[in-house]
Chain A
Amino acid sequence: MFPNSFEYMAPTTLAEAVELMQRHEYDAKVLSGGQSLLPMMKLRMAAPPILIDINSIDELRGWKEESGFLRIGALTRHSELENAVELRDRYPLLAETAVWIADPLVRNRGTIGGSLAHADPASDWGAAMLALHARVEGIGSGGERQIPMDDFFVDTFTTALEETEIATAVLVPKPAGRTAGRYLKIERKAGDFAIAGLAIHVVLASDGTVAEAGFGICACGPVPLRGKRAEEYLLGKKLTPETIDDVSRMVPEDADPEDDLRGSAAYKRDVLRVFAERGLSDIAKELQGEGVVG
């Protein structure tokens, strides 16, 4: 199979890419890892007349810690985050999530920026970045701006990025204490999209209470969703069997699943409840030692 004909451009600087995006507007589509866009083009679900391949733009690669956050370049491949040993302690949810994305071959090519900009309802990174309270950095004719995750996903396959904007990085806030993360996903077969997925991020204060809580849900609504009720409830509390039980019942309340070939809405809600219970119990053990404070 092959896509419709298109004009191919491969700028080597971000400035050049921004200029091309402004010149071609609606006709231009950014090509990053291409693991969703190219199949869609081959199936003729997408047929952009111009592809702007950003893979040669070195300034979009890699990550570094800046004041208050970890800046992950948009071109960072899933496999790089899966294997980033130096990020395991403070940003455990990154590797936890990356390993669940598709398969090793796709992870070698797909990028975090491309995945977020694609805005699939089942986006693993979408769930994780919501849980981490991250922001997406974009650049366009109006210069740079940061978009909080809560405003980023507008609808299925639609983000807050303007037609001429390019996602340049994801900004993950530095945790203010001991942190743990879990990504739980159920799929029909290895490497598939989620039937339901839940990303959990917890930071404990020195007194053992929850200082930061994040819950990101995917494949259970038109866009990845935040478990707001669970987050608000958990702040300032300790991770006890009782609070974990309460929270696990709140997570599905913020989901909006539909019956489809992957399962019924009721089933997906129940999966989320079980995931919240399992993930938080695991996190409690990791951060508090074997015995969960009762």
Chain B
Amino acid sequence: MTGLRILLGAAILGGLGAAAPFTPLWLISLVTLAMSTGLVVCGLIILWRGGLVPFGQALFFATGAYTVALSGRWFGVTDAFLLIALAVIMAVLVAFVVGFLLAQYREIFFAMLSLALSMILYGVLVKSETLGSTDGINVAQASFFGMMPRGPGYTFALFWLALGMVFAAWVGVSAYLGSVAGQLAGAIRDNEIRVEYLGISVTRLVHLKLTISAALAGAGGALAALSISHVDPQMAYWTTSGGFVFVTILAGAASVPAAFLGALLFEIVRTIAVALLPGGWQLILGSVLLLTILFVPEGLGSLMIRKRVTVSGREAA
């Protein structure tokens, strides 16, 4: 990624941040929530490029969200940056441990095993009174550099925080996708035997991808928890994971910014669908997915990339 692109990205995000005070609060909240989904989808793109689709990414999302809620409740942590760091660390730890198992599997087995693990967490959350059971836990208001903004100020602060996280994720994920490990995703999808016989462990590469994707999902969960001010077991439920996969298909694996645009589009479509057809919004969402697969099978990102990039100029957008 060139310096110019980074500058451009920073300018766009800075512009969005500056526009916040002139934007309706509901829209800012919606965008913040969409960015939390976008962070998770960034991680799914990393896995998807390697041919892996987890149906249980909510495991790491919920881990991040609950870490924020419980750090506040049990230890009185209020600093937003610290909360997010803790959420990422916890999600990474969980992914590192379950990765020893998950990285052994591919295709539908990888997908379903990840789903199984997320459903175990869901079960634990529902059954445990300490963790709030089905009601969940309220998330205390976070502080920023020792300040506790109230009302609209808090919504703005969270939005700016989200923009900062989007920027960090975009730079970080682009760098990873441009690394040898990132570029080997296609090689793993194509031919694992050849990768192993070039001297590098496919299992460890998959483990790394899973751990990075979990860090992003944990960050997304933390942002969602702060944004909604509440966590509940639904965050670990399979429909949450399904939503992430939905947005990943909508966004495609070609481009990192598409993950955020896809997430935004998803939130907007869902909001409109619920307003139009309160009892049958899934019908609209399903139709959007159907149309995406039929007409933009490689996702929104494919519309943003002009040509097929080759190695010499191969760059993660």
Does B associate with A? no
